Amino acid sequence: MEDQALFEQHHKTGQTFSYGTAGFRSKSDGLDPVMFAVGVVAGIRSMFLEGSVVGVMITASHNPPEDNGVKIVDPRGEMMEQSWEKLATQVANSACESYEAFCHAVSVVCMSVGVKRSAMKGRIVVARDSRASGPRLLQAFLAGVKWVGNVEAYDYGTLTTPQLHFLASQSNIGKLEDKTSAAPLPRVHETAYYDTFLSAWTSIAQIAGFDSLPYPVTIDAANGIGAAKVREMLLNHPFFQKDVSLVNADWHAAALLNHQCGADFVKTNQRLPQGVEGSRAGINCSFDGDADRVVFYFCDSEAKFHLLDGDKLATLLARFFKTLLEDAGVQEQVSLGVVQTAYANGSSTAYIERILQVPVSCTPTGVKHLHHEAVTRFDIGIYFEANGHGTVVFSPQALQKLQDKLETVEVGPHAHRALQLILLFSKLINQTVGDAITDMLAILAVLSILKWSPETWDSEYTDLPNKLVKVVVPDRTIFKTTNAERQLTSPPGLQAKIDAAIARVLRGRSFVRASGTEDAVRVYAEAATETEAHLLAKEVDELVR
Ligand code: NG1
Ligand code: ZN
């Protein structure tokens, strides 16, 4: 009965949920039973993984302040294995029904994965972003953890999403090999995050010979938790103190989160966020509310706004690593590639393939798809969504090869430096997930090493004019796609009409897909001129209605 009382405290009815690309997400009001259910599922997942530490992040990223959400992070810091998404969905929806339905769903899940709750132990680390609903939802989550029994949970308080991914993965180092280790939580302190990445930065600066940033950097933290963490990590650090300014840093003012600022605002509106002045010299960047995305931008001498989005981040890094691999003389042994989605600007893909001669792979939207492709296809896999979410992943085998070469083969100073830099960049970048802070540091390090201004970076290629529109349709589920979402297979006949519209404009490309996070379809169009891109978007928009 005590167990049921725990459940009833957080029970609410009336909504159905689905574990999507970003976990569960909705208005925060109805999320309590979902949080309770996630406490239970995360506990069972950890038991299933023999007590490895599983992470849970309570966040709704770039969404408005009244929203919230939750996702489960697997022991290596990656998103929870896909096959468990439907189990999580079943338990969450049963928790919105009744206690009986919930108990039944939990037994079914335990049976299907072979977990005996009374005989196993689970370990969870949890964190939340700065949203006002966070503490309440955390309590519902912890009640779920208590309900499972035999689960140890450690609450990190507020963190950025990538910090939680990183700390969860670090908690398992050693444990993944040694299943018997039972060190209490937390196994890794938050400072490990700062120490790890700052120490890589310091070594890179030493080897590359720079001792300050090349120009002032303004960070728009979207009034989110990233502000608190940047302050802690960078603002008192002698290297960054002088040149880094933080704006939209009011993370205690929950209502201001992502409001007129942040990566999503800047990318969508293609203009400066509130609080950033165009006249300021240097470079600017914007994080989203949980600091797992970053975009850069600057204004030129005529005050024209230039966006350096996820595509530009990917191309800069691709160019940089290609040169380093060549300098190190390992371009034949270590494969390099870029992973994009259909939303990547056609000019960026052409630049990577034709100018850089680096292979590009295209996957469906959602970082779990990009991450998987990058890890499985390339030794150094660079993946970014156009909206700024992405990272670089390095295969352990390739890093070992580079380390061996550094230690055992006589190489010239140029190659030696290149080998060192690749190895150090693999430590500067948070490989578990896109991370605004470490991606920003990696980009600033590259710009410092290349001695590139924002203008030089931007001038590598010019984006094709493009337009992204959201169209509300009666039933978005009828829109089915193939070929990494670039073509429709349903409704029948629609793709042929879209193809005909594309053929009427110069350098035209357009596709339609159902959003995974909103009840709408998205229409993307690009063409040689802005007029044609807008025309194409309008035509396709009309076709899908
Ligand atoms: P949907 O709503 O499925 O288009 C959006 C973004 C994705 C990704 C997810 C998760 C675009 C076009 N889509 O997905 O890139 O970030 O949200 O938050 O930006
Ligand atoms: Zn985010």
CATH of the domain spanning 466-544: 3.30.310.50
pLDDT in tens, 145-165: 999 999 999 999 999 999 999
**What residues does ligand 1 touch, defined as CB less than 6 Å away?**
21-22, 61, 343, 365-366, 385, 387, 389, 515-518, 522
Query: What distance in angstroms lies between residue 457's CA and the mean position of ligand 1's atoms?
Result: 26
3-state helix, strand, coil in the chain (%, to 5): 45, 20, 35
pLDDT of residue 177: 62
Angle (nearest 5°) at CA 286 between 282 and 287: 140
Same fold yes or no, 310-435+446-458 and 466-544: no
Q: Whose CA is nearest to atom 5 of ligand 1?
A: 517
Q: Exposed (0-12), middle (13-18) or buried (19+): which is 412, by Cβ within 10 Å?
A: exposed
Residue ranges of the chain whose pLDDT lies below 50: none
pLDDT in tens, 244-280: 999 999 999 999 999 999 999 999 999 999 999 887 7
Give one word for 108, left, alpha or beta, with left for phi > 0 and alpha for psi -120 to 50. alpha
The ipTM, to two decimals, is 0.97
Decide: helix, strand or coil at residue 400. helix
pLDDT of residue 162: 98
pLDDT of residue 279: 74
For the domain made up of 310-435+446-458, give the CATH fold. Answer: Alpha-D-Glucose-1,6-Bisphosphate; Chain A, domain 3 (3.40.120)
Give the position, in ligand 1's atom list, of the atom nearest the Cα of 522.
4
pLDDT of residue 2: 82
Name residue, tokens 């290609």: 322
Query: What distance in angstroms lies between residue 474's CA and the mean position of ligand 1's atoms?
Result: 20
Dihedral sign from CA coordinates of 326, 331, 332, 337:
negative
pLDDT of residue 180: 57
pLDDT of residue 20: 86
Residue 511: strand pairing partners: 524
Residue 72: strand pairing partners: 56
Closest among 232, 297, 211, 235 to 262, alpha carbons compared: 297
Q: Cα separations (Å) of 493 from 371, 479, 525?
A: 33, 12, 19
Size (the chain), residues: 545
Q: Whose CA is nearest to atom 8 of ligand 1?
A: 366
Query: What distance in angstroms lies between residue 290's CA and the mean position of ligand 2's atoms?
Result: 5
Q: Please, are residues 82 and 23 in contact by the beta-carbon 8 Å criterion?
A: no
pLDDT of residue 183: 81
Provide the Cα torsion 343, 347, 348, 352; round to 10°.
130
Q: Is 94 a catalytic residue?
A: no
CA atoms within 13 Å, Cβ hemisphere of 373: 23
Contacts of 503 (CB under 8 A, 6+ apart): none
Side chain identity at residue 56, one-letter code? V
Q: Whose CA is nearest to atom 12 of ligand 1?
A: 343
Dihedral sign from CA coordinates of 250, 432, 157, 24:
positive
Name residue, tokens 């191309």: 315
Closest among 361, 347, 353, 533 to 458, alpha carbons compared: 347
pLDDT of residue 409: 81
Q: Please, are residues 131 and 254 in contact by the beta-carbon 8 Å criterion?
A: yes
CA 418 to chain CA mean position, Å: 28
Q: What architecture is domain 2-189?
A: 3-Layer(aba) Sandwich (3.40)
Q: Which two tokens stand for residue 475?
A: 């039933």
pLDDT of residue 516: 83
Name residue, tokens 């933290």: 221
Q: Please, what CATH class does the domain formed by 194-308 belong to?
A: alpha beta
Give the position, in ligand 1's atom list, of the atom nearest the Cα of 366.
8
Domain coordinates in residue numbering, the chain: 2-189, 194-308, 310-435+446-458, 466-544
